Amino acid sequence: MTEDRRVQSAPLRWYRTPVLACALAGGVLLAGAGLVLGRPDVIATGLPLALAGVWALLRPPRAGSVGVALSVDAEADPGTVAGRVDVSGAAEWFQLVIDQGGDRTGAVETTAGTAATTRTRLLHSGPAEALAVTARTLHADACWASAAALRADAIWNAAPRVRPAAELPLSPRLLGLHGGHEGRRGGTGGDFRDIHPFAPGDELRRVDWRATARMARRPGDLLVRRTNALSDSAVVIALDAADDLGAVVATWGSGATARSGPTSMDLGREAALSVATSAIGDGDRVAFHALTPGGRSLRSGSGARHLERLRGVIAGTGPDGDGTRFRRTPPVPPGSIVFVLSTFFDGAAADLALRWSAGGQSVVAVDVLPQPQTDRLTPAQNLAMRTLLLERTGVLQDLRGAGVEVVSWAADDAVTELRVAARRARRTHGRGARQ
């Protein structure tokens, strides 16, 4: 349960409303009607209205400011955010227009203090506007009103769900000395390696007395039982945030994700966090890079605290607004396994994957494009979609031809595909995969 609190304030600019003119005109009309009809009671009814209008006209409100504090907090129900709106300022009352999840939901009239509480259901993971409030103030029975003083918003980074994988592909080379994977170097914790003559640096507790009695050639020779070291894998997650495409093809390029179904960024964030959770659960080191200009990066680390940092960074990764192609290649340690998460419409992510594969890294291309839904497409749009998908198929075939494993995260059996890729890597490199 985390809370995000935003406080904003703005000066007030007052202007007269039609209420003031109506009060003065109403008082004059009632007084005139009373004089014509000879009705003192009608004159008495209009006199207070006219005096109130004159009083409000001669005493305009003083300059001041209005403050809005927004607080958002996660609820027990995943994907739901609770919000609270507090207003402050020297005014009689406030008018608030409240937006939730980008849609206007209602207006509130209140005095200073806690104005409203909200409950917002977020449709997608990642950064989203959970709550926004536009405020203005009223004075002297609405004879004076301020312009819309400010629009305060609270951005909530919704964490994606996790689909942990039982097995993940490993790099052909394991460089670490601590972990849960069988390495190729001598050490402790692994399976039997060989029987070797005792050498300086060997521990006496590793002397195999049975092998010494049976195989020693000279008196005083000792034989030690050596094992393989347990190593950790260096995992790098590269998330391409150039596109955010929904399952409904008709919404592509419009930015309207409310009715687009799960988007590619939803699947990308889910895949990134799932891979990170599985890898850190096995004691591996994980680094993260957002493939956008100025995208966030998190250097390699392990452990529960590093996983929470990864969760925050992944949840805060949104689509690139201007669509600028990234040019800087993120640093990748030698001997890493790189997971490239992209829709692979733009060739930049595929170029990086091929470059890393040619440099000796193990690369897994995770396709995060949702299953396209072609409803409500015109014949021209259908032809354009088929052309794009055909070009994308060529990119994926080039990746497979270069030895890059390709996994579709939109499939129901995406975790099974990762397991198959892990076992294929085990057969190829002759080494066990993550169990």
Asked if 344 and 367 touch (Cβ cutoff 8 Å), the reply is yes
Cα–Cα distances in angstroms (integers) from residue 248 to residues 57, 162, 264, 343, 378, in the given order: 56, 23, 11, 15, 13
Burial (CB < 10 A; 0-12, 13-18, 19+), residue 229, is buried
pTM of the predicted protein model: 0.76
How much is the CA Rg of the chain, to the nearest whole Å?
33
pLDDT at 41: 81
**Alpha-carbon gap, residue 42 to 21, rounded angstroms:** 19
Cα–Cα distances in angstroms (integers) from residue 122 to residues 125, 272, 282, in the given order: 7, 20, 32
pLDDT at 432: 41
**Alpha-carbon gap, residue 86 to 112, rounded angstroms:** 7
Percentage helix, strand, coil for the chain under 3-state DSSP, each rounded to 5: 30, 35, 35
**Alpha-carbon gap, residue 124 to 323, rounded angstroms:** 20
What is the full per-residue pLDDT of the chain (435 aa) written as tens digits? 455 666 677 777 777 878 777 877 887 888 888 888 888 887 788 778 777 777 777 777 777 778 888 888 887 777 788 888 888 877 778 888 888 876 667 788 888 777 788 888 888 888 888 888 888 888 777 777 777 767 788 888 888 989 888 778 777 666 655 555 555 555 555 555 666 677 777 777 777 677 777 777 777 778 777 665 556 678 899 999 888 888 888 888 777 777 778 899 999 999 999 999 988 887 888 999 998 887 889 998 888 999 999 999 999 998 876 656 666 788 888 878 899 999 998 778 899 999 998 888 889 999 999 988 888 788 888 898 899 899 999 999 999 898 888 999 987 777 777 777 766 655 554 444 443
Cα–Cα distances in angstroms (integers) from residue 429 to residues 153, 169, 184, 285, 423, in the given order: 52, 11, 12, 21, 10
Number of other residues whose CB lies within 10 A of the CB of residue 41? 7
Amino acid at 417: E
Strands 336-342 and 362-367: parallel
Among candidates 50, 29, 46, 16, which has minimal Cα distance to 140?
16
Distant-in-sequence contacts of 91-95, Cβ < 8 A, 24+ apart? 91/12, 91/61, 91/64, 91/66, 91/137, 91/138, 91/139, 91/146, 92/137, 92/138, 92/139, 92/140, 92/141, 93/137, 93/138, 94/66, 94/135, 94/136, 94/137, 94/138, 95/135, 95/136, 95/137, 95/138
Per the DSSP assignment, residues forming a β-bridge with 138 are: 93, 145
pLDDT at 312: 92
Q: What domains does the chain contain, in order, with CATH numbers?
A: 3-16+62-158 (2.60.40), 181-231 (no CATH), 234-429 (3.40.50)
Q: What is the DSSP code (8-state) at residue 79?
A: T
Encode 76-100: b = buried (16+ Cβ within 10 Å), e = exposed. Answer: eeebebbbbbbbbbebeebbbbbbb
Ordered DSSP codes for 386-430: HHHHHHHHHHHHHHHHTT-EEEETTSTTHHHHHHHHHHHHHHHHT
Question: Tokens 């605290």 map to which residue?
Answer: 305
